[in-house]
Chains A and B, each alone.
Chain A
Amino acid sequence: DIVMTQSPDSLAVSLGERATINCKSSQSVLNRSNNKNYLGWYQQKPGQPPKLLIYWASTRESGVPDRFSGSGSGTDFTLTISSLQAEDVAVYYCQQYYSTPLTFGQGTKLEIK
């Protein structure tokens, strides 16, 4: 299984400031045949299901605000929120879909400082 490890486990950021969440995979999720990283990011608010934010490591899902961006390749990835808004308080998960079983990171809880 590919193990996904996120850091930090929790993060407090001031409104309007940048938030950065890291995700590391135990093996590369880059498919060299198509040069795509099989990595997605989700946002989960209390009492709600996860919501897809990013796929292919850096492609924003339709309707997701452009303050959310994804970067990285191979085994190291980052989700960045450029200017934190109150509604961004949530738990964020990365997910690899390079191989089964599909696996998620343990989650990063983002709060307002």
Chain B
Amino acid sequence: QVHLQESGPGLVKPSETLSLTCNVSGDSISGFYWSWIRQPPGKGLEWIGHVYYSGSTTYNPSLKSRVTISVDTSKNQFSLKLTSVTAADTAVYYCARSEQWLSWFDSWGQGTLVSVSS
């Protein structure tokens, strides 16, 4: 059974870059799409974007100018970078797996809270 685990700083200063990594265990990262999804405290879910194991990406246009998602198949992990963060980027960040480019999310990490504050 696949297990996803997010890691990274829990506090980022305004205007800096948020960086998170999702480690995938129990299954290969190959053959799947890997997403980042965020949830501001007490609010709903926002899809940030995904990366295919080959490295191709699709981003949410609302964040596209600030987002980079990459994959490292040798380490079975993928990463998120979000630049120029503001308080509005404070959220729980989840990594998740999909089987297709247009698909549901069948496995999720536990999520990690990232706060943006000076």
Contact = CB atoms under 8 A, between A and B. Distances in A.
A77 interface: no
B27 interface: no
B94 A101 contact: no
A84 to B, nearest CB: 23
Contacts of B58: 100
A3 B46 CA distance: 12
Contact of A49 (B46, B98, B104, B109): B109
Majority secondary structure, A binding face: loop
Interface in B68-118: 94, 96, 98, 102-106, 108-111
Contacts of A100: 58, 60, 102
A54 B111 CA distance: 21
Contact of B44 (A38, A40, A52, A104): A104
Interface in B36-55: 44-47
Centre residue among A97, A98, A102, A103 by max chain B CB count within 10 A: A102
A31 to B, nearest CB: 9
Interface residues of A, number: 24
A99 interface: yes
B65 interface: no
A35 to B, nearest CB: 15
Interface string A79-113: 00000000000000101011111111111000000
Given A50-B108, A101-B60, A38 B47 contact: no
Nearest to A105: B44
B28 to A, nearest CB: 20
9 pairs of A and B residues whose beta carbons are closest in the complex: A49-B108, A40-B104, A101-B60, A102-B47, A104-B45, A55-B104, A97-B102, A106-B44, A107-B44
23 contacts: A40-B105, A48-B110, A49-B94, A49-B109, A49-B110, A50-B94, A50-B105, A50-B108, A51-B108, A93-B44, A93-B45, A97-B98, A97-B103, A98-B102, A100-B102, A101-B47, A101-B62, A102-B47, A103-B47, A104-B44, A105-B44, A106-B44, A107-B44
